[in-house]
Amino acid sequence: MEGLTVPDFIEALEKSSKTCIIQIGVMEKHGAHLHLGTDLYLVREYSLRAAEQEYTVVFPWYYFSQINEARHQLGTISYSPELIWKLLQETLDELSRNGFEKIIIVNGHGGNNAFLNYFGMAQLAEPRDYSMYWFRPESNAEVMKKFVELTHEDKNDAHGDTRETSSMLTAEPDVVHLDRATQQSGKTSSA
Ligand SMILES: [Zn+2]
């Protein structure tokens, strides 16, 4: 979306059948070998690949996530529960005002799952001009089957582990410090 001019945007609305993806990540520690923005990189990659298969407008980087549980770790950017709710609602409202009728939230950060379940249910509290869908890649049975076949890893493997590291090696190989993968990742914050 950020790369479109206004005339492009008008065309994109039609071409996408008024569909937009909000790709949600977070800023959070991922060991000593992966970037704080790992979830951002990955969810953007998933969303852009999906949009290549079926044209969809992808909303810019979005990292206003539920991450209270990691506030003690350096590198975490955590906003209040009220703010993340309001910001997401206003983002949906703005996309709707701009003409989108289908808004797909692709979630790259596990800490948002409970939040997004309830946020989705709360959309039904009043009439809306759009439909909201939300998708977590790890809920997709086909994706998880491939992952287990390829890595022989238990599917509980998650944060900063084999799945995220190998996904990052595919999406952004230049930013993975594999040589640091066995190191401790350092200090916690004073919060
Ligand atoms: Zn992550």
CATH assignment at residue 15: 3.40.50.10310
State in Å: Cα 37 to ligand 1 middle.
8
Tell me phi and psi for residue 19, to 5 degrees.
Answer: -120, 135
Tell whether 182 is covered by a domain: no
Q: How many domains does the chain have?
A: 1
Tell whether 147 is covered by a domain: no
Tell whether 120 is covered by a domain: yes
Average pLDDT, the chain: 91
Tell whether 180 is covered by a domain: no
pLDDT in tens, 124-137: 999 999 999 999 87
Tell whether 179 is covered by a domain: no
State in Å: Cα 164 to ligand 1 middle.
6
Q: What is the pLDDT of residue 186?
A: 65
DSSP 55-121: --EE---B-----GGGTTBTT-----HHHHHHHHHHHHHHHHHTT--EEEEEE--GGGHHHHHHHHH
Q: What is the pLDDT of residue 79?
A: 97
- Give the residue numbers spanning the domain of 42: 6-138
pLDDT in tens, 13-67: 999 999 999 999 999 999 999 999 999 999 999 999 999 999 999 999 999 999 9
Tell whether 175 is covered by a domain: no
List Cα–Cα distances, 170 to 47, 117, 191, in angstroms. 14, 29, 34
State in Å: Cα 76 to ligand 1 middle.
12
Q: What is the pLDDT of residue 157?
A: 66
State in Å: Cα 127 to ligand 1 middle.
34
State in Å: Cα 4 to ligand 1 middle.
29
State in Å: Cα 38 to ligand 1 middle.
6
State in Å: Cα 23 to ligand 1 middle.
13
State in Å: Cα 160 to ligand 1 middle.
6
Tell whether 172 is covered by a domain: no
State in Å: Cα 35 to ligand 1 middle.
9
Does pLDDT of 156 surpass 70?
no
Q: What is the pLDDT of residue 45?
A: 94
Does pLDDT of 187 surpass 80?
no
Q: What is the mean pLDDT of residues 108-120?
A: 95
Q: What is the pLDDT of residue 154?
A: 63
